[in-house]
Amino acid sequence: MFNGSIPALITPFKQGLFDRAAFANLVERQIAEGSIGLVPCGTTGESATLTHAEHREVVELCIEVAAGRVPVIAGAGSNSTAEAIELAAHAKQAGADAALVICPYYNKPDQAGLEAHFTAINDAVSLPLLVYNVPGRTACDLLPETVCRLAKLPNIVGIKDATGDLGRVSMQNAGTLGEQFFQISGDDPSALGHRSMGGLGCISVSANVAPAMCAAMHMAVDDGDLQTAIAIEARMIDLHLAMFASPSPGPAKYVLSRLGLCEPDVRLPITPPDTDAREAIDAAMAKAGVL
């Protein structure tokens, strides 16, 4: 189900409101240019500053526009287990194919707490779940041994791993051997290495701005053409890094605004890229051939 390039979609705003038309066009562009799935309301979608009503609206519109052509993995994370269950239940009701559930941020649970959190969501909602480990944002780390225990639960089907620690792919493969468990990178600069270790794809920030190139890299890996994949990544590595030249998703929205696809608006406490960041982003865009 999840094998290739999957954008962590931005949420476009216009005059402070969700821009439905721009979002629908972005979804169509992603499908046309080879993305194999869509993630609305993830970190890159500024889920932390969406209202609950906006969150539901974004997920529902993504599912409506995708119309079954590619799977939709709805962001459903929270630092409150009860709220994460509510969001996952909405994703199921709306028709999402899966939900992406982040480790609880700020609370700093230990491994027992993390396992209990994801187990509770698994038990409450009958929907495929991808756990999302990104210690740099959550201040807690879902360790491989905990992942392997969670993989035995019926609804937990995979992980988005944004640690950049490629050794975890092998450890988690060994611990979930014989089970269908999707290991997806959440870190664009190391995504090719993640694939070579046994990963299946990437939930990507860069795919917002260069969907065809990201899809082509993964297709080259699927075809066994490592040299082509390496060549594509050599063109894209500066762009991957530039997506974090200032707090994300500011850089992605800046690029998309230059492409005429949405406004560059972000919500506080995120601010737009400054002059130095824009110059770095522009140089990376030129190298990648995005413009």
Residues with active-site annotation: 132, 160
CA distances from 69 to 63, 140, 203 (A): 10, 35, 17
In the structure encoding, which two tokens stand for residue 232, read together? 């594509």
Burial 176-199 (b: 16+ CB within 10 A, else e): beeeebbbbbbbbbbbbebbebeb
Q: Based on DSSP, count helices (H) and strands (E) in the chain, helices before strands.
A: 12, 9
Asked whether 122 and 153 are in contact (CB, 8 A), the reply is yes
Asked whether 266 and 246 are in contact (CB, 8 A), the reply is: no
Torsion (CA) 20, 51, 264, 31 in degrees, nearest 10: -50
Q: Which of 257, 213, 267 is nearest to 239 (CA)?
A: 213
Judge whether 228 and 220 are in contact, CB under 8 Å: yes
E strands, 80-221, are 98-102, 129-133, 156-161, 182-185, 201-204
Report d(CA 264, CA 281) in Å as an integer. Answer: 14
What is the C-alpha to C-alpha distance for residues 265 and 257, in angstroms, rounded to an integer?
A: 9
Longest dimension (CA), the chain: 51
Per DSSP, what are the bridge partners of residue 252? none
